[in-house]
Structure formats: structure tokens, C-alpha cells
Amino acid sequence: MNHLYKSSGGLQIVTALNKNDLPFDQITAWCDKVGVSPYVEVSQEHQDGMRRIRIYANDVLHKRCQHADTSHLAAGLGLISEHSDQDFMLEVVLSMAVSPVIFDFSSLNELEANLRMRLNVAALARRTELKFDTGGISRPEAYWSHVEGNGFILKDGASLIDGIEWALCPDTSGEHFSFSCQRATEYLMLHSLAIELSLTNPEKLKEIELQWRKKALVADDFLNAFLLEIGSSATPFPIRCYVPGDRVWFKNPDDFSSNVKGYEGSWVIYMGGGQFTNLWDKSNPYTLETKCIEIYHWRHSVREDESGGLEINEDLVKEFVEQTLSSQIKLQHCMDLMMRYRDPQGVYEDGGCIDLTRDTFRRVCPE
């Protein structure tokens, strides 16, 4: 059976040929242990002094994930990824196997570290609930102090891991702190990275904590230091292809409403099971559809604030979303407009809100 993404993608471990620490049989045994063997094929090739072992979707998995749609993968296989670490790991590996954009690893240890980081970021994301306030920012004072030009600085003696948890999770702190969605997703990814480094590379964690006691890395500085943006215009992620633990950007394709601070788009974490973080209401995570509908209706909810500036009326957004969800005609119209790849930065023409790329963790193992 031929499938659109059969010949490309998946995940691969690339090592030098002179290394003898990764027999092919070890990878097939690992696939058996994780539980992916019924759904994948494993191949090996030698080229330019390197050995590439690739794990990719077989016909059974491609049939379940038509057009590389992973949003219903967990439900289709009866996985309860939110409550089972084993099910979560299985969903991650199968989602990678389906993806036409390949995920590269330098060792089996690196792959397993990546899986743990994805597990941890999804777990913390489910507990995260914040106050959306484009005009203000706040953090727990026991851990953070704000320095103009350097952002929120980790206090001497404070733990980066604990400080992030207290800032994001009201079930720990008892409070809701003010964040932008971009800063919140950076904290989520950094927390998971820090936990992994505490186990596998503690010296690197000390370096990162030292950095945060001087200056916070944000936006492109954060991305370039800790994450990999994978996918491209030549090889984009399919519109419904997401791997649990991905950081994802949804663009606001409306030129006018995107000028309102905080509404240029939306950064989220894909938690698996078809759910994306709702950073402002953790009890109501987004689906791909509801995320697109919300962003679509920002354009209909722009109002003047008391000072004459522009703001988005969130109550109006909710009303419009409910109306759209109750009408198949309105829903289809919205999906037709939004479920397209976004235009390039600064362009607002015929694009939708779907990004071509995803953000994932860089390699973390000491080797």
C-alpha cells in the first residue's frame, strides 16, 4: 500500500560507523519494549562513514494516520497518555514515526532523554494556569526579581526548577501570575530541560542557573540556546501532524487584530491526545479546531479601551466561538480559512494560522 509520507520521515539515530555501542538488534529490542513494533519498520544504512538506523511508520500506522494526522492517534489506539507514562511514550514515538519531517538523535540515550523531556513538559503544562495580562507581568517573589533590561532574574540560592513550578502552577503556589504565552512556553520547556539535566548533565544545569541569575534568555535567544526549530517551507509538518511535547506557534492571520499587543498569535504546548495547552484555563484545553476558531474571532472582538487604544474583548470572543461551534456552516467556513499554512512573517494575504515548523529540545546528554 502506498502512502504519501511512506518514503520519508520518522526518527533516526545517527552514529559513526566505528562506534559499536548501538547494535541494530538493540534498537529492535527497544521498539519491542516501548510497544511500537506492530506499527513501525526499522531500517539501517551506512553512508559517508555514518550509520543511520531509522524507525518509521508501517502500513498499519499510516492507515490510522491518514495524511500524517496524529491528532486522533491516542484515541484510535485507546491510549490514555495523560495518566500513563507508557502510553505517552508510545504516542510520542508513533507520532514521530508518522511525521514526514525526520527527528534526529545521536544515540539511544539521547532519544530516551528527549522522550523524558516531552513527558515532563506535557505533565507540567496540564498543571499550568496563568493570568493573561498584556500590561503587566509577575512572578513569585521568593524566587524571582525583575531587573530592567535583564528580565526576571533567579534569586541567589533559589532553584530554577522550583522557581518555574511556583510561577506556573497555582496548585503549588496558590496564585496565578501574569505571563505572555511566549514566556510561559519558554518556562515550560526550560523546566523540563532542567529536570533532565539534573539527572544526566548537572554541570550544564549549573551553567543555566548561573545565566538566569544574571539575565533571562527570551524569544530568539531562548530558541537558539535550548530548542530546535524543525520543518521548513520545503518540508513542512502536515497541518494535523503534532508530536506530544512540541512547542507550537499559531499565527493570527488578520492584519488589524494582530496589532493588538498579545494577539499576534498564540504559543502553546501540544500535550498529546489531540489537546493543546490553555494557559489561562487548564480545565479546558484546546483542540486544533477550537484553537483556530478562537484566533479567527479575535478580528471580530477588537474594541477601544479606556485610553483610546485597542484591546480584544475576551467575552465577545467566547460568544463568537460558541456560535461557530453550534453551526456546521460557520464552523466549516472558519476551518477553511484558518486550516492553511500561515503566510511569512509580516505578510497577511491568503494564509491561515498553521505553522510549517515545530520547536523541540536540543541534545542534552554529556557526550
- Which DSSP helix (H) or strand (E) runs through 14? strand 11-16
Question: Would strands 11-16 and 103-105 be described as parallel, antiparallel, or unpaired?
Answer: parallel
In the predicted model, is pLDDT for residue 103 greater than 60? yes
pLDDT per residue over 268-277, tens digit each?
A: 999 999 999 9
Cell numbers at 298, concatenated:
479575535
Q: What is the pLDDT of residue 76?
A: 96
Cell numbers at 96, concatenated:
514521530
In the predicted model, is pLDDT for residue 22 greater than 80? no
Neighbours of 356 (CB within 10 A): 20
**Residue 16 — very low, low, confident or very high, per pLDDT cuts 50/70/90?**
confident
Exposure string over 16-29, b if 16+ CB within 10 A, otherwise e: eeeeeebeeeebee
Per the CB < 8 A criterion, the answer to whether 184 and 279 are in contact is: yes
Contacts of 243 (CB under 8 A, 6+ apart): 70, 92, 95, 96, 99, 103, 118, 270, 358, 360
Average pLDDT for residues 5-33, to the nearest whole number?
82
Average pLDDT for residues 90-113, to the nearest whole number?
96
Give percent above pLDDT 70 in the chain.
Answer: 97
In the predicted model, is pLDDT for residue 2 greater than 70? no
Q: What is the pLDDT of residue 132?
A: 83
Per the CB < 8 A criterion, the answer to whether 196 and 154 are in contact is: no
Angle between helices 24-34 and 108-127 (to 10 degrees): 20
Question: Would strands 178-179 and 358-361 be described as parallel, antiparallel, or unpaired?
Answer: unpaired
Cell numbers at 229, concatenated:
526549530
Question: Would strands 50-57 and 11-16 be described as parallel, antiparallel, or unpaired?
Answer: antiparallel
Q: For the residues of 158-207, what is the DSSP string, one character each?
A: --HHHHHHHHH-HHHHSS--EE-HHHHHHHHHHHHHHHHHHHH-HHHHHH
- Which DSSP helix (H) or strand (E) runs through 321? helix 314-325
User: What are the two backbone dihedrals, phi and then psi, of residue 250, each rounded to the nearest 5 degrees?
Assistant: -115, 125
Per the prediction, the chain carries an average pLDDT of 94
In the predicted model, is pLDDT for residue 32 greater than 90? yes
Average pLDDT for residues 61-87, to the nearest whole number?
96
In the three-class reduction of DSSP (H, G, I as helix; E, B as strand; rest coil), residue 247 is classed as strand
Identify which of 100, 89, 16, 18 has the alpha carbon closest to the alpha carbon of residue 53: 16
**Residue 1 — very low, low, confident or very high, per pLDDT cuts 50/70/90?**
very low
pTM equals 0.95
Contacts of 148 (CB under 8 A, 6+ apart): none
Q: What is the pLDDT of residue 174?
A: 97
Q: How far apart are CA 151 and CA 231, in angstroms?
A: 30
Q: How far is CA 15 from the centre of its chain?
A: 27
| DSSP 8-state symbol, 363 | P
Neighbours of 72 (CB within 10 A): 14
In the predicted model, is pLDDT for residue 4 greater than 60? no
In the predicted model, is pLDDT for residue 46 greater than 70? yes
Per the CB < 8 A criterion, the answer to whether 128 and 186 are in contact is: no
pLDDT per residue over 206-229, tens digit each?
A: 999 999 999 999 999 999 999 999
pLDDT per residue over 326-353, tens digit each?
A: 999 999 999 999 999 999 988 999 999 9
Q: For the residues of 343-359, what is the DSSP string, one character each?
A: PPTT--SS--SB-S-EE
pLDDT per residue over 302-317, tens digit each?
A: 998 888 889 999 999 9
Q: For the residues of 70-102, what is the DSSP string, one character each?
A: -TTHHHHHT--TTT-HHHHHHHHHHHHHH-SSP
Measured distance between the N- and C-terminal CA atoms of the chain, rounded to whole angstroms: 40
Specify burial of residue 343 (Cβ count, 10 A radius: 0-12, 13-18, 19+): middle
Average pLDDT for residues 37-54, to the nearest whole number?
92
pLDDT per residue over 110-147, tens digit each?
A: 999 999 999 999 999 999 999 987 677 899 999 999 99
pLDDT per residue over 318-333, tens digit each?
A: 999 999 999 999 999 9
